[in-house]
Amino acid sequence: MTCPYVHYVVDDAYPSTPFEWTCTSLMPYSMHSQRAREAPMREPVQQLNRYGLSAWVRTDPNEAPDETRPGQWIDCDLRTFDLSTLGHFDVILADPPWDIHMSLPYGTLSDDDMCALDVPALQTEGLLFLWVTGRSMELGRQLLRQWGYTRAEELIWIKTNQMERLVRTGRTGHWLNHSKEHCLIGMKLAKRRTQPDAWPPGHSQQVPQWLHKGLGTDVIVSQVRDTSRKPDELYAMIEKMCPGGRKIELFGRRHNVRPGWLTLGNQLKSTYVVEPRLRAAWEALPPTAPAGPAAEEGPRIRKMLPVLKSNTPAPTSSVVVEAPTDATAPRSPGQIWVRSMTPMGTPPANKIPLGSETPGTGESDVVEATRARLLRCLAESESTL
C-alpha cells in the first residue's frame, strides 16, 4: 500500500525559482532552507506561501520574470570570429570537430586551428566542458592548460543502442571499437577572493562560490543518435551545477539551441540575438560572409530569422539579416549585413500580388473573372426557364 502523503527533503541550495536555469544573475548559497524545513509536509505549496517562501514554488514557465532569455544563436566561423565581443560567460561547452582521419559528413578542424581559438577571451572564472576523441584526449588536456584551466573532472558517456545494450560496432576506433566518449571538465578561478563568511559550509576556495557540487555523476549512459550528437543529460547536469549565469556552446548545431544558452557554429544557417548588450556588440561587427552551408546560398533579400519552438515566450523583436541594397556597398558573394530591428511575427509585406508579376493582375482579377462567369451561367439558366 502506498503512502498518500508527500515526503520531501528541501535542498540546502538557494530557492528553486522558475527562472533559475535561464537568468543572468548567479545565485550563491543562502540560509532560507532552514525556514523551508520547518514548513509542514501536508499541502507544501500553501505552507511555503504562508511562510513567506513563495519563490520556492515553481510556477508556469510562461509567467517567468524578465530575466528569462530564449535560446540565441550566431552562424559564424569560429576560426575567424572575434570571441572577445561576446563578453564573459560562466559556463563554456565545446564539441569541436576533431580531425580523426576518417571520412565525416562535416568539416573538421586541425590541431593548429584548435590551439589558435581565443577561448580565454570568453571567461575569467567558470567551467569549461570539452568533448574529446580518443586521438585528441592528450591534446584536450594540453589545451586546458594553455587556456588557463585546471582539469577538475572527466566525464564519460557510455553509448548504448536502441536495445539499451552497449554499442559494440561502429566506425570509430583504429584498434578497438569505441563504446564511450570523454568530456574534460576544466575550471578557471578568478584571482580575487572576497567575503569568505558568505561561503556555504564545506565550501572550498578551489571552486567558484556559485558552483554547486555533488549533484551529478561522472558517467552518462545514453543512446546514440545523430552523428556527433551528444546526450542531453549533460545540459541538465550543467544547469544544476551552475544555476543562472551566462552559458555558451561552441561548435553547436540547430538541435543544440536551448533557452538560456548562446550557440555558435557554422551549421546554424541564421543568426538570432535578443540579449541587449550582445545584440549591440553583434550589430557593431563589420559585415562578414556566412559560414558553412549558408555560404553556398548567396545573399538573401530581407530574410526573417527563424524562431525555434521553446517553452519560453519569444521576444518582441529580433535582428534581421539581409543582403546589402546600397549601390555603393560591396557585393561579394554570400555577404550579409545586420541592418535593422524588425518586430517578430510581422514579415515584410509583398509588393506584388501572389500569382502575378505586375500589380493589378493578381488574385482580385481572378475573383472578378470567376464572379462574371457565375453571373453568366445564372443568366443563361434563367433564360431557359
| pLDDT for the residue numbered 43 | 58
| pLDDT for the residue numbered 282 | 79
> In this structure, what DSSP letter does residue 231 have?
P
If one counts every other C-beta atom within 10 angstroms of the C-beta of residue 337, the result is: 18
**Domain end position, chosen among 211, 226, 245:** 245
Q: Does 104 lie in the same domain as 51?
A: no
C-alpha–C-alpha distance, residues 38 and 59, integer Å: 22
| pLDDT for the residue numbered 32 | 52
Residue pLDDT, tens place only, 131-150: 998 888 888 999 999 999 98
- Residue 235 forms part of a structural domain: yes
- Residue 47 forms part of a structural domain: yes
| pLDDT for the residue numbered 321 | 40
**Domain end position, chosen among 182, 215, 245:** 245
Q: Does 50 lie in the same domain as 152?
A: no
- Alpha helix segments (H runs only) across the chain: 33-37, 44-50, 111-115, 137-146, 233-241, 276-284, 363-384
Q: Does 187 lie in the same domain as 130?
A: yes
C-alpha–C-alpha distance, residues 162 and 101, integer Å: 28
Would you place residue 128 in the very low, low, confident or very high pLDDT band (cuts 50, 70, 90)? very high
- Residue 288 forms part of a structural domain: no
Report which of residues 215 and 229 the model is more confident about: 229
Pairing of strands 150-160, 180-188: antiparallel
- Residue 157 forms part of a structural domain: yes
- Residue 12 forms part of a structural domain: yes
Q: Does 108 lie in the same domain as 226?
A: yes
Q: What is the CATH number of the domain that holds 103?
A: 3.40.50.150
- Residue 36 forms part of a structural domain: yes
**Domain end position, chosen among 56, 80, 99:** 56
Q: Does 143 lie in the same domain as 216?
A: yes
pTM of the predicted model as reported, rounded to 2 decimal places: 0.58
Q: In three state form, how does the secondary structure of 59-76 look?
A: CCHHHCCCCCCCCEEEEC
Range 215-254 burial, b when 16+ CB lie within 10 A, else e: ebeeebeeebeeeeebbeebbebbbbbbbbbbbbbbbbbe
Q: Does 130 lie in the same domain as 2?
A: no
- Residue 305 forms part of a structural domain: no
- Residue 338 forms part of a structural domain: no
Residue pLDDT, tens place only, 224-233: 887 778 988 8
| pLDDT for the residue numbered 119 | 93
Residue that has been written with the C-alpha cell 566542458 in this structure: 129
Residue pLDDT, tens place only, 103-121: 555 567 888 888 889 999 9
Report which of residues 210 and 179 the model is more confident about: 179
Q: Which domain holds residue 100?
A: 89-191+203-245
Q: Does 132 lie in the same domain as 231?
A: yes
Q: Does 115 lie in the same domain as 233?
A: yes
Number of domains in the chain: 2
